Amino acid sequence: MAAIAMPRGFGRGALALVIGIYTIYTVAPFLWLASMSVRTTTEISFDHYAWPHPFHWEQFRIAWVDSDFATYFWNSTWVTVGAVAVVTLVGAAAAHALARYRFPGNRVIYGILFSSIIFPPQITLISLYQILVDYDLYNSLFGLMLVYISLQLPLTIYLLEGFFARIPQDLFDAAKMDGYGDIEIFVRIVLPIGMPAIATTLILNFIQLWNEFLFAVVLITDPEKRTLPIGIRAFMGDHFQDIGMIATGVMISVVPVILVYVFFSEKLIRGMTAGAIK
């Protein structure tokens, strides 16, 4: 029985249709959120999906100035950027050491890091709370940053170790013949080659920590030290929720994530699809 020939271009058309549907599925909620961010709660309650008329751009000023979102934004920036920078640098160095150097306890350390990923981080909340209290770091942005570093470091090392292990040994042998030391090898060879994987972990860690709520709400109590997720929660009361201001606050929090993703998107795709280093 002869096979039925598919019309030319059918495959591309079907693929374009699937991509178009998925794009609408992912972009539509963002556009809806953007429209609500410039509407009042009364207008949203009257018609959830209406086009903004007029555009209430003053809601961003109210959220940023009057509702202290500027403080929350910079608190989140300080904690998240600091934690991601330390996790990326320390995680890359530790992953390189575990992947390239053989020393007693190498696999034991790797196993401990891997086992720490299996358990949900929420089980450490009480112990971390007690540790921060004992060291006078409770209700401190620096203490929260240390908690974020401890939460994301094992997964970062685990992901980067697998990537770094694929780097050919010949590159390191040639570098040693040229007189490179261990630090120079890490800076001039491992970091440039591993940048796609590093960018992947950087984006994942940034998104995770920027939106983190549970540890922040437990370990931070002072209003002036709130991060963005906690600040947005302040608009949600028991009997009334200011939906318009919540949407405005969420838009403010989404913009940095989009910018980070756009800046590192190419390296992220390369890191996610890299199967081997040639």
**107 closest CA partner among 98, 117, 119:** 98
Cα 48–54–56 angle (5° rounding)?
Answer: 85
Query: 3-class SS at 228?
Result: helix
Distance CA(182)–CA(188), nearest Å, equals: 10
- From CA 134, how far away is CA 35, in angstroms rounded? 46
pLDDT the model gives residue 237: 61
Three-state SS at 241: strand
Residue 53, pLDDT score: 85
| pLDDT tops 70 at residue 270 | no
Which of 177-186, 189-198, 233-242 shows the lowest per-residue confidence on average (mean pLDDT)?
A: 233-242
Residue 69: exposed, middle, or buried by beta-carbon count in 10 A (0-12, 13-18, 19+)? buried
Can you list the domains of the chain with their CATH numbers? 66-273 (1.10.3720.10)
**Which residues fall within 8 angstroms of residue 277, CB to CB, at 6 or more apart?**
166, 167, 168, 193
| 206: pLDDT strictly greater than 90 | yes
Which residues, listed in sequence order, are joined to residue 241 by a DSSP beta bridge? 236
Q: What is the mean pLDDT of residues 42-58?
A: 88
Averaged pLDDT, 93-118: 86
Backbone angles phi and psi of 196, in degrees to 5: -60, -45
Split at pLDDT 50, 70, 90, the class of 211 is very high
Q: Enumerate residues 6+ apart whose C-beta is below 8 A from 132.
A: 138, 140, 143, 147, 219
pLDDT of 17 > 60? The answer is yes
pLDDT range class, residue 110, cuts 50, 70, 90: confident
Question: Each residue of 149-181: pLDDT tens digit?
Answer: 999 999 999 989 988 988 888 888 888 888 888
Question: Tell me: the pLDDT tens digits for 234-248?
Answer: 777 654 678 888 888
- Residue 64 pLDDT greater than 60, yes or no: yes
The overall average pLDDT reported for the chain is: 85
In degrees, to the nearest 5, what angle opens at C-alpha 28 toward C-alphas 27 and 32? Answer: 120
> 236 - beta bridge partners?
241
Whether 93 and 183 have beta carbons less than 8 Å apart is answered as no
- What pTM was computed for the model? 0.84
Phi, psi of 246 (to 5 degrees): -60, -45
Q: Which residue in this structure is represented by tokens 């086009």? A: 51
| pLDDT for residue 88 | 95
Q: Which helix (H) or strand (E) holds 75?
A: helix 69-100
Under a CB-based contact definition with an 8 Å cutoff, are residues 139 and 221 in contact?
A: yes
| Helices 195-210 + 243-273 axis angle, to 10 | 160
Q: Which residue has the higher pLDDT, 9 or 128?
A: 128
Q: Taking 90 as the threshold, does the pLDDT of residue 101 lie above it?
A: no
Above 60 in pLDDT, residue 4?
no
CA 26/CA 45 separation, integer angstroms:
24
CB 260 within 8 A of CB 203: yes
Residue 105 has pLDDT above 80, yes or no: yes
pLDDT at 91: 94
